[in-house]
Amino acid sequence: MRQQLSNWFRAKRDRLLRQVIAAAPRRGETLQLLDLGGRAYYWRRLGTDFLREHKVHVTLLNLTDFELYAGDEDPTLFTYLVGDACKLDLADNSFDLCHSNSVIEHVGLAWQMEAFAGEVRRIAPSYFVQSPNFWFPIDPHFWRLPLVHWTPRPLRARLMRWLPLATAGRAPDMISAYRFADSSQMLSKAQMRALFPDSRLHAERFMLLAKSYTAVRLAK
């Protein structure tokens, strides 16, 4: 059931992303898209035929080089970069569209989220940024225990130590437990509006509650 719901929401989000890609202005024949913290399999799921049809080239940027040598990827569709999404070594408007899916909640504290958002807005005239909603009762990163992200940090760490809430399972020690607890800082609608003031927010809803928000800006 959980996987079916996840697939349903993903398909809905993919439809919005396809619309944004189709509508985003480009400076040349190819739409240059920067994906912060992205993976090639995400775009394969969206559809490589769609990317080719709309002449999209995706640059995947991550903190580490673990995807740089994925030699099975089509170089006409994908380029790999290593970098810090909070401090990009790239010129303003280097890309036509900046994309990020469930990444901003992992970059750290409020000032780091602000830096990330500033880079998104600087690096491309159009963007698509998705993040889970803090006020939804289930944190998708720790879905086994609803409401856990609303508990105080010390209690959250204790729960990570006692129970297999994280994807990696039960934390082996308290240092790891705090690392797990701090690994995700979900954002509210107010935070998304503050970080992306020039965007339109799209809400994914489940039983009338906003499950996540996607900030979209399309260049004029």
Q: Report the pLDDT value the prediction gives residue 141, as an integer from 0 to 100.
A: 86
Q: What is the pTM of this model?
A: 0.90
Q: Which of 51, 44, 40, 41 lies closest to 18, judged by CA?
A: 51
- Token pair 């890309």 is found at 95
Q: Report the pLDDT value the prediction gives residue 67, as an integer from 0 to 100.
A: 63
Distance CA 112, CA 172 (A): 28
Mean pLDDT, rounded, of the chain: 91
Q: Is residue 23 over pLDDT 90?
A: yes
- Cα torsion at 10, 212, 121, 49 (round to 10°)? 10
Q: From the CB of residue 157, how many other CB atoms can be counted at a distance below 10 Å?
A: 21
Q: Report the pLDDT value the prediction gives residue 156, as an integer from 0 to 100.
A: 93
104-136 per-position pLDDT tens digit: 999 999 999 999 999 999 999 999 999 999 999
Domains of the chain (ranges; CATH) run 2-138+185-217 (3.40.50.150), 140-183 (no CATH)
Q: Which of 128, 125, 116 lies closest to 86, judged by CA?
A: 116
| Per-residue tokens: 8 | 């349903």
Q: What is the mean pLDDT of residues 212-218?
A: 98
* % helix, strand, coil for the chain, step of 5: 40, 25, 40
| Per-residue tokens: 107 | 């970059």
Q: Report the pLDDT value the prediction gives residue 27, as an integer from 0 to 100.
A: 95
Q: From the CB of residue 77, how many other CB atoms can be counted at a distance below 10 Å?
A: 15
Q: Report the pLDDT value the prediction gives residue 74, as an integer from 0 to 100.
A: 79
75-85 per-position pLDDT tens digit: 789 999 999 99
Degrees, nearest 5: CA angle 178-116-72? 85
Q: Report the pLDDT value the prediction gives residue 152, as an integer from 0 to 100.
A: 94
pLDDT confidence band for 165 (50 / 70 / 90): confident
Q: What is the mean pLDDT of residues 166-193?
A: 91
Q: Is 199 left (phi over 0), alpha (psi -120 to 50) or beta?
A: beta
* Cα-based distances in Å from 216 to 23, 127, 170: 12, 6, 36
CB-based contact 135:24 (threshold 8 Å): no
pLDDT confidence band for 12 (50 / 70 / 90): confident
Q: What is the mean pLDDT of residues 158-182?
A: 89
pLDDT confidence band for 7 (50 / 70 / 90): low
25-77 per-position pLDDT tens digit: 999 999 999 999 999 989 999 999 999 999 999 999 999 887 666 655 677 89
Q: Is residue 4 over pLDDT 60?
A: no
Would you give the distance in Å from CA 82 to the centre of its chain? 17
- Would you call 127 helix, strand, or coil by DSSP? strand
Distance CA 90, CA 157 (A): 37
Distance CA 76, CA 30 (A): 11
Beta bridge partners of 133: 187
Q: What is the mean pLDDT of residues 11-24?
A: 92
Q: Report the pLDDT value the prediction gives residue 64, as an integer from 0 to 100.
A: 87
Q: What is the mean pLDDT of residues 193-217?
A: 95
